[in-house]
Chains A and B, each alone.
Chain A
Amino acid sequence: MDSLSNARLMTAAYLSAGTSSFTELLTGSAPELLPGTGTHAVSASLAADLPHATTIVAAAFDGGVVMAGDRRATAGNMIAQRDIEKVFRSDEFSCIGISGVAGIGIEFVRLFQVELEHYEKLEGRELSLEGKANRLGGIIRANLGGAMQGLVVVPLFAGYDLDAGVGRIFSYDVTGGRYEEHRFHSIGSGSVFARGSLKKLYAPRMSTADAVLACMQALYDAADDDSATGGPDVTRRIYPVVATVTADGYQRLTDDEAGAYAQAVISGRMSAPDGPTSPLRAAIGPGD
């Protein structure tokens, strides 16, 4: 009886005029499926012992944007997983990386992917890049209760703006606040080191290969100083996940391609362990 009336309710929800948002469909008719719902008060120690996703970097280059993430998930002082993936295709022209509680973060990504595709199918057009960025903010905001209990998830969103013809990067805080980042950005436990590294290595209008290499160097620097960020694992051939988004769409580097960049970084560091240095007295200021 209960399941029958539930089925009727779902049918009514499907047939209603409704909106084109998948999240709203869930909120209205199956709220238990939303990520992070039903989370009760979680003790701080438990929250800290859940697997956490760590560092993500992104950089805009000439004609697109690159995003890269290390492969480590940590649970307290333990390594929970050494080949976790934290950078995902969100749709044809955008990608998303997550840091924070991995379990909820991955659910967010799944929800966001369906959200974008759902809108596209119902409306017959893609959301604008800003529309996608705003929608992600809304999804993060809905988890504010969970975040207050220590289940913090913060995404990094990047995509190719088809109208403007450039790659753009958006960062978020736990309240869903959305901030457009220019040139490059980093999130997660090793982000301080990665950002410092990118700051010195980034140049405007870089080529794709240079931008990928800069991100790889930044992740190496993060792994160098942050225990929660994993460096390239040459023995197991586990390398960072690297994705580019250009006018041709989302493309993830194969393991061999990412491995080649990682090897280049490692062989460079054999002679200079701290990596490339930037000129101390630059003639031109950054960003010009």
Chain B
Amino acid sequence: MPFYVSPEQAMKDKADYARKGIARGRSGVVIQYDEGILFVAPNPSRALHKISEIYDRIAFAAVGRYNEYEILRKAGVRYADLTGYQYDRQDVTARGLANWYAQTLGTIFTDSPKPFEVEIVVAEVAQTAAEDQIYRITFDGSVNDEHGYVAMGGQADQIATVLKEHYADGAPLSQALSTAITGLAVQTNGDRVEIAASQLEVAVLERTRPHRTFRRLTGARLEALLTQAVPAAVQDGPAEVGAAAGGDSGSGPEDGGAADEGTPDGGSAG
């Protein structure tokens, strides 16, 4: 028994549905620093990535439904590799890819009964920070050209407000990471210490690296960066002393978080 549904209502229903789905997951942040672009997303999984390499100077970050953004990630790699093979490696641009994503997501939103519950960011690192490109593409195919920083996910607006307060042009990597974590803490009621290395997925596009600029930051390198980035808000001095001493200093701030909150996340990290 078919009922009449006005187009306005149908679109609104789809949009609400997608927004709800996206809001269920954690948000992510993409932020520029002096030597490139930093990607940070809370993600306890080491294997199922939210942040990935697309091409030499282009990376992809997403929040929402894993299977859906994984389809988009793979499509992006195929688009980029085919374009680069057909023309030249320098002819693959974030702008072209963002347009392709926008068109594809827009078509899916209008044509398919169920929209993709995803929000993605495509970023390209250039020779100078001013030429870096960051595009945010939402479930309905709208594109935003961003500068400096961008948050994606259900709480993107709140996070962006915090990022705006803390963001500075040309900040070093540790400061950018600190800003990103402060922003992400909005979704855990401002409790930054809960975000431990094992709960974060962090990657960068490094401006000066030749050929493929994408690098994941994991293990000891991430721990060291976090001890530089986190102490400012956690406690006063001790974490910084720990950073200089090396060894198991990384567990210092995390232990504090586990003790305070008693969260399962903090417990497993400590």
Q: Which residues of A are at the interface with B, using a C-beta cutoff of 8 A? A: 10-11, 13-15, 18, 22, 25-26, 30, 33, 110-111, 114, 117-118, 121-122, 124
Which of B54, B79, B212 sits near A14, CB closer than 8 Å? B79
Across the interface, do B52 and A114 meet the contact criterion of CB distance under 8 Å?
A: no
Question: Is B269 an interface residue when CB atoms closer than 8 A count as contact?
Answer: no
By a CB distance below 8 angstroms, the chain B residues around A15 are 71-72, 75, 104
B residues less than 8 Å from A13 (CB atoms): 78
Contacts A11-B104, A121-B52, A124-B49; is A114 near B75 (CB within 8 Å)? no
**Contact indicator A114/B78 (Cβ below 8 Å):** no
Q: Which residues does chain A contribute within 8 Å of B75, judged by CB atoms?
A: 11, 14-15
Q: CB within 8 Å of A: which residues of B? A: 47, 49, 52-54, 71-72, 74-79, 81-82, 84-86, 100, 104, 107, 212
CB distance from A123 to the nearest CB of B (A): 10
Contact: B104 with A25, CB < 8 Å? no
Q: In the bound complex, how far is the Cα of B104 from the Cα of A217, in angstroms?
A: 57
Give the dominant DSSP class at A's interface.
Answer: helix
Asked whether A118 lies within 8 Å of B77 as measured between CB atoms, the reply is yes
Asked if B85 and A114 sit within 8 Å, CB to CB, the answer is yes
Residues of A within 8 A of B74 (CB): 14, 18, 122
Quick check: B84 and A114 within 8 Å, CB to CB? Answer: yes
B85 x A110 contact (CB < 8 A): yes
A-B residue pair count with CB separations less than 8 angstroms? 49
* The 4 A-B residue pairs with the shortest CB-CB distance in the complex, in nearest-first order: A14-B75, A14-B78, A121-B77, A15-B75
**Complex formed: what's the CA distance from A118 to B53 in Å?**
11
B52 CB contacts on chain A under 8 angstroms = 121
The contact of A118 among B72, B81, B86, by CB within 8 Å, is: B81
Q: For residue B81, which residues in chain A have a CB less than 8 angstroms away from its CB?
A: 22, 25, 114, 117-118, 121
Q: Are B85 and A22 in contact (CB under 8 A)?
A: yes
Q: Which residues of chain A have C-beta atoms less than 8 A from B84's C-beta?
A: 114
Listed A/B pairs (17) with beta-carbon separation below 8 Å: A11-B75, A11-B104, A14-B75, A14-B76, A14-B78, A15-B71, A15-B72, A18-B74, A22-B85, A25-B78, A26-B82, A30-B82, A114-B81, A114-B84, A117-B212, A121-B81, A124-B47
Q: Complex: how many Å from CA A230 to CA B256?
A: 68
| A121 and B85 contacting across the interface, CB-CB below 8 Å | no
- Distance in Å: Cβ of A171 to nearest Cβ of chain B: 26
Residue of B nearest to A115 (CB): B81
Instruction: Give Cα distance in the complex from A111 to B81, angstroms.
Output: 10
Provide the residues of chain A in CB contact with B72, threshold 8 Å.
15
| B49 / chain A contacts, CB cutoff of 8 Å | 124
Q: For residue A12, give the distance in angstroms from its CB to the closest CB of chain B.
A: 10
Which A residues touch B79, using CB under 8 A? 14
Within the complex, what minimum Cβ distance (angstroms) separates B255 from chain A?
Answer: 31
Question: In the complex the two chains form, what is the Cα distance from A33 to B47 in whole Å?
Answer: 33
Q: CA of A60 to CA of B211 in the docked complex: distance in angstroms?
A: 27
B85 contacts A122, C-beta separation under 8 Å: no
Q: A18 contacts which chain B residues (CB < 8 A)?
A: 74, 78
Q: A14-B76, A22-B82, A114-B85 are in contact. List 10 more A-B contacts (CB 8 A).
A: A10-B82, A15-B104, A25-B82, A114-B84, A117-B81, A118-B78, A121-B52, A121-B53, A121-B54, A121-B81
Query: A122: which B residues are within 8 A, CB to CB?
Result: 74, 77
A121 to B74, CA, bound (A): 8
Which partner residue on chain B sits nearest A33 by CB separation? B86
Compute how far the CA of A104 lies from the CA of B49 in the bound complex, rounded to whole angstroms: 37
Residue in chain B with minimal CB distance to A111: B85
* A151–chain B nearest beta-carbon distance, Å: 20
Q: Report how far A25 CA is from B82 CA in the complex, Å.
A: 9
- B104: A residues at CB distance < 8 A: 11, 15
Q: In whole angstroms, how far apart are the Cα atoms of A111 and B212 in the complex?
A: 17
